[in-house]
């Protein structure tokens, strides 16, 4: 048994706050309270509110509404807020004209922000706000996770940088040097380099006569001299006591290496405390013939060259011979 059901305007507004009632010619009869917030001032016909959601805008929105399949949803785009697409159904209510009822779908968040909608603007059974709150909570969680991951990444970078840095001079320590050497020896880089092992001459009397504070200041100043002698992509490390190592990228001639080594020695002699006679002995080895696993062998060979400088009278540069079967690259190094 069926009965005709008549709803008053207040009940219709409560149950379907997004409804829109149109005459057959598209003239607006009335709209629900939420729909009224979307209707631009002075709107008289449905084309004042909507355009087609897809395809070319023909201005014949009413034609699309009349042709809508009752079993399928109708999609229309707000004329003055083109990013928002409303979806709903069309029915013939029995008193003439057409009754449309809409929802925001994926445009919900934009609609709430644009029109200042609240919980009271939705039907009691509408789950839109719950969905929006879940979306906002998800975005907030994702944002917090992103911030946490960024802080974690920065903390890891700080920890790695600290683990590879000499606390006294601020340059690389032994661990940082080994990492830089492995990268430089990686055959994929395709670039050679020179490894310079430097040991200060007559350093012990500085600590004995002037104290360890003066010795630390001198080591700091030596690091600055070495930093000024190299380029931005080179590496400088202190590997313990008064020993330093430089990685000079590129191809070098013996003449060029001797020249830069001599300049380093002169720079260190200029910062020597008065009466201490600080200088430096250098041992240099070229990377040709060494592989990614040869860091220890290369450091050993540079150390051997260094002590050849020590035995020859200190304050000088010694370059290790290339491994058997290797020939130097023909390009000259930076002068």
69 in catalytic set = no
Q: Is 70 exposed, middle or buried (0-12, 13-18, 19+ CB in 10 A)?
A: exposed
Closest CA to 188 of 291, 261, 118, 107: 291
Tokens of 189: 């880089």
Which residues on neighbouring strands pair with residue 235, listed in sequence order? 247
What are residue 211's DSSP bridge partners?
none
3-class SS letters over 290-325 = CCCCCHHHHHHHHHHHHHHHHHCCCCCEEECCCCCC
Structure token digits, residue 166: 């000499």
User: Which of these is catalytic: 242, 293, 296, 301?
Assistant: 242
Phi, psi of 194 (to 5 degrees): -115, 135
Q: HSE on the CB side for 156, CA within 13 Å?
A: 6
Q: Which string of DSSP letters, residue by residue, matches 153-216?
A: HHHHHHHHHHHTB-TTTSSB-HHHHHHHHHHHH-GGG---EEEEEEEEES-HHHHHHH-HHHHH
Looking at the DSSP bridge assignments, the partners of residue 100 are 20, 90
Residues labelled as active-site residues:
242
């Amino acid at each position: 048994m069926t009965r005709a059901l008549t709803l008053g305007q207040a009940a219709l507004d409560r149950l379907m706050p997004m409804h829109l009632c149109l005459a057959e010619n598209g003239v607006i009869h009335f709209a629900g309270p939420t729909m009224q917030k979307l209707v631009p001032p002075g709107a008289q016909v449905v084309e004042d509110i909507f355009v087609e959601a897809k395809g070319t805008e023909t201005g014949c929105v009413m034609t699309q509404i009349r042709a809508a399949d009752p079993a399928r949803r109708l999609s229309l785009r707000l004329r003055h807020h083109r990013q928002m697409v409303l979806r709903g159904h069309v029915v013939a209510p029995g008193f003439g004209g057409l009754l449309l009822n809409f929802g925001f779908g994926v445009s919900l968040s934009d609609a709430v922000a644009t029109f200042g909608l609240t919980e009271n603007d939705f039907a009691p059974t509408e789950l839109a706000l719950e969905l929006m709150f879940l979306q906002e909570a998800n975005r907030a969680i994702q944002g917090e996770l992103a911030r946490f991951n960024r802080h974690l990444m920065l903390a890891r970078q700080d920890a790695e940088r600290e683990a590879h840095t000499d606390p006294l001079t601020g340059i690389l320590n032994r661990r940082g040097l080994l990492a830089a050497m492995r990268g430089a020896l990686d055959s994929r880089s395709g670039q050679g380099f020179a490894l310079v092992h430097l040991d200060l001459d007559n350093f012990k009397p500085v600590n004995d006569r002037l104290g360890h504070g003066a010795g630390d200041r001198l080591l700091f100043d030596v690091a600055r001299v070495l930093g000024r002698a190299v380029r931005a992509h080179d590496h400088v490390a202190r590997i313990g006591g008064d020993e330093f190592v430089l990685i000079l990228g590129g191809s070098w001639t013996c003449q060029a290496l001797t020249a830069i080594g001599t300049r380093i020695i002169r720079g260190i002699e200029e910062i020597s405390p008065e009466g201490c006679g600080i200088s430096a002995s250098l041992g240099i080895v070229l990377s040709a013939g060494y592989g990614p696993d040869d860091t220890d062998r290369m450091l050993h060979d540079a150390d051997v060259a260094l002590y050849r400088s020590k035995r020859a009278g200190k304050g000088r540069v010694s370059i290790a011979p290339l491994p058997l079967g290797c020939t130097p690259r023909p390009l000259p190094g930076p002068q």
